[in-house]
Chains A and B, each alone.
Chain A
Amino acid sequence: MSARRLILMGASMVAAILALGPRAALAQHAEKQASSSATSSASAGSGGSVMNDEDLRIEGEKRFHTNCGRCHQSPHKLPPRMILTIERHMRVRGMLTQEDMRAVVAFLTQ
């Protein structure tokens, strides 16, 4: 690879990260706010959109079989602290949607 190409590649990556980073941070901030308000409403007993444990287990298991089960066998018992890393890896590798990933993580860490 020539030096010019390396510089071009590096500059492009920096530009991409700069373009994406602040917007993603804003989006996550908004998401966290929505999440915390959902938690508040659940703890207040209003129900809201938060699933209970049984619904979550059923939904997570369904999404596990729909997505992960396409290449993997039955749910593998792994320590919960590994699940987040593996699901992040599979979100990239298997192109899981954010909703699928969250439900599967919740199911596997229950």
Chain B
Amino acid sequence: MRSVPLSVARRGCLPWIVGLLVLWIATLAHAQMQGQNDPNPPDVILPEMSAVPVFSAGVAMVNAWQGGQPNLHPLVSPVGLIPIGQNWLIEGRGTFESILIPDPSGPGWKGYLQKEDDYFQLDYIANRYVTVSVGRYITPFGIFNERLYPVWIRNLQSDPLILPISTGPSGAGTGAMARGGFNLTPKVELNYATYFSTEVTTSPFDSDRNWGFRTGIFLPGPRLEVGGSFQHLLQDDHSNAFGFHFAWQPTALPLDIRAEYARSSNGSGYWVESAYRLSQVPVWRNEFRHVQVVGRMQQFYVGKVASDSLSSVNTNLCEFGLNYYFRDDIRFVSSYGRQFAPEGGNQNIWTVGVTYRLALPIGHGDFR
């Protein structure tokens, strides 16, 4: 067993102590507020019924041609949700995927199965301000990793170039997190997530030792969100990373604009994505309302410290996508991208595929 020097142990305690102190003070203040006057009395009477466990899965089959080289990318990503009582939830998601390339020694394709544990966490909804999660969680840095990563949600199937910045070796952390969203005023919502992760080197549960937070302001009226993320690495070069995110879905248009910027010692960059659903086209409405056009521009700049999961050269990438929604849970996806990079890195990237999402109850549940 590896021994930990006392100074290191003390340094490791600090984020925990500070985090717990903040939690304790917040809940204490909130409990006092509850006792005096509830600022948001419930005005919605819900039907009383028991929550049941849910099994869900995202399934995708995407073919890509990168620089003329074809590959097949089948993926299954099962999600399990187990509610306990009124305030607890166990949730987990795994990913089974393979990247198949043509077998040079004969007909057919070859590849191997990759297994990933995206998250497996226990959530406790303590009150309207705080939810505590422990276990393995998706690192809340920026918006793509946590909100837009599933294949059936993302508008373009390729990952943003800056995604590996500060999301760790597997996009997840192992430890604890406090998070929540609440109204500051009727027209302004605040959301936040603060976390501490310990180092795990066993694949597929690997994670870095770090702490950080993300916070955002959401305006429900114009459906506009801006926010920022910060992370401090507690290993290797003990570097800091930060990022900003922006999302806007104007109410008058079926338009979705998102952007992210991230910077760390491994590199920096941004992406800007716009997706437009053709539901307002005055002709062939029944057909066009299923069609979505997407455009994304991204740039990545190499940092001082090289990283295996990031591009090794400065890279620009423009992508255009066309998606067709058969239903809200099954769609055809396609895209074309042009990558610009030095030393012969210019190439075309094509993708064609189908994504599907299913959700099933486990058990019946009953009205109380």
Contact residues of A with B, CB < 8 Å?
A: 1-5, 8-9, 12-13, 15-17, 19-21, 23-24, 26-28, 30-31, 34-35, 38-39, 42, 49-51, 56, 63, 66-67, 69-74, 76, 78-82, 84-86, 88-89, 91-99, 102-103, 105-106, 109
Q: Provide the residues of chain B in CB contact with A34, threshold 8 Å.
A: 38, 41-42
Given contacts A26-B34, A81-B51, contact A76 B328 (CB under 8 A): yes
A-B contact pairs, 14 of them (CB 8 A): A5-B4, A5-B198, A17-B132, A20-B23, A28-B127, A38-B41, A66-B223, A69-B249, A72-B153, A72-B328, A78-B359, A81-B365, A82-B359, A84-B83
A2 touches B189 (CB 8 A): no
Beyond A20-B27, A78-B359, 19 additional contacts (C-beta under 8 Å) are A9-B176, A12-B20, A19-B23, A23-B31, A26-B31, A27-B30, A27-B31, A28-B86, A49-B41, A69-B249, A70-B256, A72-B153, A73-B325, A88-B51, A89-B54, A92-B131, A92-B133, A94-B181, A106-B47
In the bound complex, residues from chain B placing their C-beta under 8 Å from that of A106 are: 44-47
A25 CB → nearest B CB, Å: 9
The interface centre, meaning the residue of A15, A49, A66 with most chain B CB atoms within 10 A of its CB, is A66
| A97-B128 Cα distance, complex, nearest whole Å | 7
B interface, CB within 8 angstroms of A? 1-4, 9, 12-13, 16, 20, 23-24, 27-28, 30-31, 34-35, 38, 40-47, 49-54, 81, 83, 86-87, 89, 91, 123-128, 130-134, 146-148, 153, 175-176, 179-183, 189, 191-193, 198-200, 220, 223, 247, 249, 256, 325, 328-329, 359, 361, 364-365
B325 and chain A: residue at smallest CB distance: A73
* B46 lies within 8 A of A105 (CB): yes
Number of A-B contacts (CB under 8 A): 195
CB neighbours of A74 from chain B (8 A): 328
**In the complex, what residues of B have CB within 8 A of residue A89's CB?**
54, 81, 89, 91
Contact across chains for B43 and A51 when beta carbons are under 8 A apart: yes
9 cross-chain pairs, A with B, having the tightest CB-CB distances, nearest first = A95-B181, A73-B328, A81-B365, A84-B51, A95-B191, A98-B128, A20-B126, A85-B51, A23-B31
CB neighbours of B176 from chain A (8 A):
9, 12-13, 16
* A85 interface neighbour in B9, B53, B87, B127, Cβ under 8 Å: B53
User: Given A9, A93, A99, which contacts B40 in the complex, CB threshold below 8 Å?
Assistant: A99
With contacts A85-B51, A97-B189 known, is A79 near B16, CB below 8 A? Answer: no
Residue of A nearest to B201 (CB): A1
Q: Is the CB of A38 within 8 A of B124?
A: no
Q: Is A15's CB under 8 angstroms from B20's CB?
A: yes
Q: Which of A35, A78, A81, A93 contacts B42 (CB 8 A)?
A: A35
Of all chain B residues, which has the CB nearest A82?
B361
Q: Tell me which residues across on chain B come within 8 A of A24, comparing CB atoms.
A: 27, 87, 125-127
In the bound complex, do residue B198 and residue A35 qualify as a contact, i.e. CB atoms below 8 Å apart? no
Interchain CB contact (< 8 A) of A76 among B50, B329, B364 = B329
What are the residues of chain A within 8 A of B50 when measuring CB–CB?
81, 84
With both beta carbons as reference points, the residue of chain B lying nearest to A6 in the complex is identified as: B198
Residues of A within 8 A of B91 (CB): 89, 92
Please report the C-alpha to C-alpha distance between residue A72 and residue B357 in the assembled complex, in whole angstroms.
Answer: 11
Report yes or no: A82 in contact with B54, Cβ–Cβ below 8 A.
yes
Whether B12 and A93, one on each chain, are in contact in the complex, defined by CB atoms closer than 8 angstroms, is no
Selected contact of A95 from candidates B13, B28, B87, B193, CB within 8 Å: B193
Q: Is the CB of A4 within 8 A of B9?
A: yes
Q: How far is the CA of A76 from the CA of B40 in the complex (A)?
A: 28
Residue of A nearest to B176 (CB): A13
Please name the residue on chain B nearest to A86 by beta carbon: B54
A29, closest chain B residue (CB):
B34
Please report the C-alpha to C-alpha distance between residue A69 and residue B130 in the assembled complex, in whole angstroms.
23
Asked if A20 and B89 make an inter-chain contact with CB atoms under 8 angstroms apart, the answer reads: no
Say yes or no: A19 contacts B24, CB within 8 Å: yes
* Known pairs A1-B200, A19-B24, A86-B54; A92 contacts B47 (CB<8 A): no
User: A9: which of B1, B192, B198, B223 is its contact (CB, 8 Å)?
Assistant: B198
A1, B199: Cβ atoms under 8 Å?
A: yes
Does the CB pair A20–B130 fall under 8 Å?
yes
CA–CA, A6 and B86, complex, Å: 28
Q: How far is the CA of A85 from the CA of B128 in the complex (A)?
A: 17
Contacts of A94 in B (CB 8 A): 147, 181
Q: Are A27 and B81 in contact (CB under 8 A)?
A: no
* Residue among B125, B146, B192, B199 having the largest count of chain A Cβ atoms under 10 Å: B125
